[in-house]
Amino acid sequence: MSPIPGQEGRGRNILRHRSLPESVHEILRSRILNNELPAGTPLIELNLADEFGVSRTTVRAALRELQAERLIEVQPRRQTIVTRISAEDVTEACYARYVLESVGLADVWETARTALVADMTEAVRVMGLAADKGDLAGIVEADIDLHRLIVQASGHPRLVEMWSTLNGQMGALMRSSLDRQGIDMAEAVLRHTKLINAFRRKDPGVAKAALHDHYLKPSHG
């Protein structure tokens, strides 16, 4: 079943330039991250198929992607609900990211720092625009872009590859962190700004310590 252009519905007009499962996944992911679908909300295949004008098979494929990202949980009897990852999982993902991003900093600091800071500053600018719109999905994408710059600066493609495997959980991680800490999106942007300020210093040890605090202090952002 194909979506019908011009029909009413929150999702229909967006389902035009990507594959149908990708489009449904992207829309649902944005709703979950922006808390339009809070934790505990049930997701019913038939209702979603009707809203988007697609088959249940398409919806099922989109839900599988959301499950892989830890944004939803399939419970016994096949009930699907929006979920939040545990505090323990948040800590583990943050630690892995910190290790991969920090390991190569000292080796490239003198040659990479100036360009890295400029690129990180642009990523935070984009993050701020997303925060102004109340768009956590946009903040997540900017966060991924910013931290990818750090790990790429190491010059080790295998590190980047390992780091990239964590990206699928970043939306769930940030949504869970914001909920648990009771902070807003502007605060998340501020924390990344503080990280950049540390990277502006000429001491790679200062940058590494700031990265550690960014990820592993209770006020992660």
Same domain, yes or no: 159 and 58:
no
Asked whether the CA dihedral 162, 71, 33, 210 is positive or negative, the reply is negative
- Give the Cβ contact number of residue 134 at 10 Å: 12
**E strands within 57-165?**
72-74, 80-82
Same domain, yes or no: 136 and 92:
yes
Cα 43 to chain centroid, rounded? 21
Contact in structure between 172 and 184 (CB atoms under 8 Å) = no
Buried b (16+ CB within 10 A) or exposed e, 12-46: bebbeeeebbebbbbbbbbbbbbeebebeeebebe
C-alpha angle 151-176-124 in degrees, rounded to nearest 5: 45
4 Cβ neighbours under 8 A, 6+ residues apart:
12, 53
Same domain, yes or no: 75 and 112:
no
Domain residues for 100? 87-216
Same domain, yes or no: 107 and 198:
yes
Q: Which of 40, 61, 82 is the last residue of a domain?
A: 82
What is the C-alpha separation between 24 and 94, in angstroms, rounded? 28
80: helix, strand or coil: strand
44 Cβ neighbours under 8 A, 6+ residues apart:
80
State how many domains the chain has.
2
Compute mean pLDDT per 10 residues along the chain, 221 residues long, and list them. 41 59 93 92 95 95 93 86 90 92 87 94 97 92 94 91 87 84 87 95 93 80 43
Same domain, yes or no: 130 and 38:
no
119: helix, strand or coil: helix
How confident is the model at residue 177, as a pLDDT?
Answer: 81
How confident is the model at residue 47, as a pLDDT?
Answer: 96
Contact in structure between 66 and 25 (CB atoms under 8 Å) = yes
User: What's the CATH code of the domain at 171?
Assistant: 1.20.120.530
Asked whether the CA dihedral 30, 73, 93, 176 is positive or negative, the reply is positive
How confident is the model at residue 11, as a pLDDT?
Answer: 46
pTM of the complete model: 0.78
Asked whether the CA dihedral 58, 60, 175, 51 is positive or negative, the reply is positive
How confident is the model at residue 219, as a pLDDT?
Answer: 54
How confident is the model at residue 106, as a pLDDT?
Answer: 83
How confident is the model at residue 4, as a pLDDT?
Answer: 32
